[in-house]
């Protein structure tokens, strides 16, 4: 069992499953926190040991500076996750988290740790760039974006005190996501699953399909009915997919 990093500010384990044969590492979206994946952890334990990541600038890390360049964050997280690679790691990221999971996966492979799989949700492939500038909007414009995507607690968006607390981290996350640029080089050798909503304004089905260009392993595309946060109404189906993915990726004797 990995014990290093157990007290790391980056790592959360809501339902530790030390005997599970595989670990799922969850990367939150821009503005998201580790608690977003609490239901995933509850659903998959104890068959899968679920690790969720907590970025700085939110919740118990709200007094820290928000995340910056995604490549720099990926370097930090690669070091944080290496102690947990005593069993296969499935990487699961939504939106910005998918880009970050991909970059962590590349770095793990360079270190000789090949992820069991990458599940990239609600995000265009790394090489499919869009010019986006939501992070440059004023606070009202940023809140409008959050409401349109429906990824933030509506109650929080109506509470001025809560808004003042969370907007800096959200803006920092958006800046990191929107200024991310894919750097050509070795990609992944593990299987990749791409999940996308058919009405997602942030990524088209074609942009999601291009994830297949970034792995020499197998690739599958799953299209859901819904927008950017299709995960919520399809939680049961997504959890089943993650469980199947984790189980199928465990090396057989």
Q: Any idea which residues carry the catalytic annotation?
A: 95
Nearest-angstrom CA–CA distance, 220 and 193: 5
C-alpha to C-alpha distance for 151 and 161, rounded to whole angstroms:
19
d(CA 219, CA 232) in angstroms, rounded, equals 24
Residues 6+ apart with CB under 8 A from 70: 96, 99, 100, 103, 176, 177, 180
Q: Six-digit token pair at 107?
A: 């770095």
DSSP assignment letter at 195: E
The number of beta carbons lying within 10 Å of the beta carbon of residue 147 is: 13
Instruction: Spell out the SS3 assignment of 5-25.
Output: CCCCCCEECCCCCCCCCCEEE
């Amino acid at each position: 069992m990995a014990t290093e990093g157990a007290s790391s500010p980056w790592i959360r384990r809501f339902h530790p499953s030390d005997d599970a044969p595989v670990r799922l590492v969850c990367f939150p979206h821009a503005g998201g926190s580790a608690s977003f994946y609490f239901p995933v952890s509850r659903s998959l334990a104890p068959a899968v040991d679920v690790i969720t990541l907590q970025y700085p600038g939110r919740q118990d890390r709200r007094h820290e500076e928000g995340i910056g360049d995604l490549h720099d964050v990926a370097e930090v997280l690669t070091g944080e996750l290496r102690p947990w690679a005593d069993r296969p790691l499935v990487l699961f990221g939504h939106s910005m988290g998918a880009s970050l999971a991909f970059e962590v996966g590349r770095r793990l492979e360079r270190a000789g740790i090949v992820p069991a799989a990458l599940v990239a949700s609600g995000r265009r492939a790394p090489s499919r760039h869009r010019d986006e500038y939501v992070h440059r909007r004023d606070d009202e414009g940023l809140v409008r974006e959050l409401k349109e995507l429906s990824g933030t607690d509506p109650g929080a968006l109506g509470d001025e005190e809560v808004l003042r607390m969370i907007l800096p981290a959200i803006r920092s996350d958006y800046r990191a996501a929107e200024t991310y640029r894919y750097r050509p080089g070795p990609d992944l050798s593990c299987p990749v699953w791409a999940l996308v909503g058919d009405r997602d304004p942030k990524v088209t089905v074609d942009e999601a399909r291009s994830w297949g260009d970034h792995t020499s392993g197998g690739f599958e595309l799953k299209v859901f009915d819904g927008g950017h946060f299709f995960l919520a109404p399809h939680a049961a189906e997504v959890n089943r997919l993650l469980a199947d993915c984790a189980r199928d990726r465990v090396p057989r004797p």
